[in-house]
A and B are shown apart, each in its own frame.
Chain A
Amino acid sequence: MAETLFCKNTETFAESLARCGVKYHFAYPITPATDVMKRMAVILPKYGGKMMQMESELAVSSAVAGAACTGTLVATSTSGPGFDLMQEAIGFMCGADLPCIILDSMRVGPGDGDIVGAQSDYYMATRGGGHGDYRVPVLAPCEGQEIADLMPHAVKLAYTYLTPVLFVIDGVTAQTTETTTVPDYHDYSAEFDVSGWQYTGTEYHPKRALITGSYAHEDGYKMNERLRAKYEVIREKEQMWKEDSIEDAEMIVVAFGIHGRMCRDLVKKMRADGKKVGCIRPVTLWPFPDKAFEKLPASCRQILVIEMNHGQMVDDVRLAVNGRLPVHFFGKTGGDTPMYTLREMIAETSRLMGE
């Protein structure tokens, strides 16, 4: 039954996965994502599944690809340095149309970087990650409750479009402990017919299934055209974002994840001071919610993008705004407080508004 938990958001992620029908979870330990695999090891057997620790991240993503071939809902969890290493099999899964759920709990890079939270994987997450013309739907919840609320949608995306679905959660949100209501168990993947493509073994199987990410000549062209068509549908139908007080806003702040959450307070406090500020919080990072920027209110004079990095999503905002308004950027990464505080966010917003 639905249950209110008080736990780390990494653990909420695990609970949400398990309650949405994930059967297998493969992972390799890495801060700040290890709590997901630890929790999965404990709870998955209750739902008839299993967590398995592999010897490396490439082994993890390959195991995910293998299990996905059977039509079974499978997941993994990692952080930036591990996500780098998984790209080979993720690219394969995109070419081979295989569903799965992935978590990248973002930390400071490049390289091993630092274990504190960041949003520096935006580029990698939203541009596919590996080589080739592929994309992966990317969900960016800003709090525990949104993780739980988005999970059924993530499973549906994965099976509707036969694609890996990626969650990106900054390490600060991932490590935050909070109250979250998680739903009853329901295997959302069971709502989809996978008999047309799944591997079931040779017994009783009249046809020889072929799942491949390897194509030659005209087949490679066709595969890419097929992916292109799929991504066009996703772009058109699957953009998600939240708006706060933008109807008469003179300044719109755009932020995702924890900064997006902090903007609730930013808007409330600045509105209380009579400053007309609104917020757009992208929930899907790919497809980027271009539609949120199609009809900006006439009152809007400028846009400020706030991120826990040196400016990544700001590029997509500029593409969406397409020169109609000035788009500013405010962000930092690393350090004991690896992000701008609410006070600093308000000060910068006020400064740009000329006050």
Chain B
Amino acid sequence: MLFKCMFSGSGGQGSALIAKIVCKGAMEENLRVVMTQTYGIEQRGGDSTAFVILSDEPIGSPIVEQDANVAVGLSQTTYQSCFEGTCKGGVLFCNSSLVENPGQEDGFEQVKLPVSDMAVELGNVKGANMVMLGAVVKKTGMLKKETVEHVIEKLLGAKKPQLVEPNLKAFRAGYDAV
């Protein structure tokens, strides 16, 4: 089993957080994990991409080089590199609330989900990343649902326990939407 993922969004959308949750979840499931991040001026508004590789075997190349089988584009500006970075047979997740004119996929699958709108309906647009994470986990089966819920509880509960419930709700909404 080998998942090569890229999680992209504008700074502040939380693409790095969902990447971190995937990493922690993979550790709980005793998988090997490698994460690399792009360098840049990643303050709010700048683009940010986290690359994560999960495997049950020792990982060779730690670099995701336009061969992601799971690509997540949370914003308009990062969508194109996700589109180009998805390999044949992979799945591209598009935040259709923000991405205008998504490309026509060829050789891979595209899941278009209005995660920002769904998060607003749930009470806070900041939950869009968690909605997307739910969809990714359900669609790809890369991790167990319970594992991710446990990581969300542990990771967010440590500092801000009031954030656990809304994030779990967003995660489950995304999980049920695909």
Contacts and interface: CB of A to CB of B under 8 A. Distances in A.
Given A116-B39, A262-B61, A264-B60, 4 more contacts: A6-B27, A143-B62, A176-B36, A265-B61
B27 A178 contact: no
A178 B58 contact: no
Contact of A177 (B32, B36, B59): B36
25 contacts: A4-B27, A6-B27, A6-B33, A116-B39, A143-B59, A143-B62, A145-B58, A172-B62, A173-B62, A176-B35, A176-B36, A176-B62, A177-B23, A177-B35, A178-B32, A178-B34, A178-B59, A179-B32, A179-B33, A261-B62, A262-B60, A264-B60, A341-B65, A342-B61, A343-B67
B63 interface: yes
Contact of B36 (A175, A262, A342): A175
A265 B67 CA distance: 13
Contacts of A263: 60
Nearest to A173: B62
How many interface residues does chain A have, given as a range? 20 to 34
B24 interface: yes
A264 B63 CA distance: 13
Contacts of A6: 23-24, 27, 33
Interface of B: 23-24, 26-27, 31-37, 39, 58-63, 65-67
A261 B33 CA distance: 15
A177 B62 CA distance: 10
A6 B39 CA distance: 19
Contact of B27 (A116, A175, A176, A179): A179
A268 interface: yes
Given A177-B35, A178-B35, A342 B58 contact: no
Interface of A: 4, 6, 116, 143, 145, 172-173, 175-179, 258, 261-265, 268, 341-343
- Residue among A177, A258, A261, A262 with the highest chain B CB neighbour number at 10 A: A177
Contacts of A268: 60
Contacts of A176: 34-36, 62
A178 B36 CA distance: 9
A261 B34 contact: no
A343 B85 CA distance: 13
A132 to B, nearest CB: 37
B60 A265 contact: yes
Pick the most buried of B35, B58, B59, B62: most chain A CB atoms within 10 A of its CB: B62
A261 B60 contact: yes
> Across chains A and B, which 6 residue pairs bring their CB atoms closest together, nearest first?
A265-B60, A264-B60, A262-B61, A177-B35, A178-B34, A341-B65
A116 B36 CA distance: 13
Nearest to B61: A262
Nearest to B50: A177
A145 to B, nearest CB: 8
A343 B59 CA distance: 16
B33 A178 contact: yes
A179 B26 CA distance: 10
A343 B87 CA distance: 13
Contacts of A262: 60-61, 63
A178 B62 contact: yes
Contacts of B27: 4, 6, 179
B65 A343 contact: yes
- Of A173, A176, A264, the most chain B CB neighbours within 10 A belong to A176
Contacts of B37: 177
Contacts of A175: 36
Contacts of A116: 39
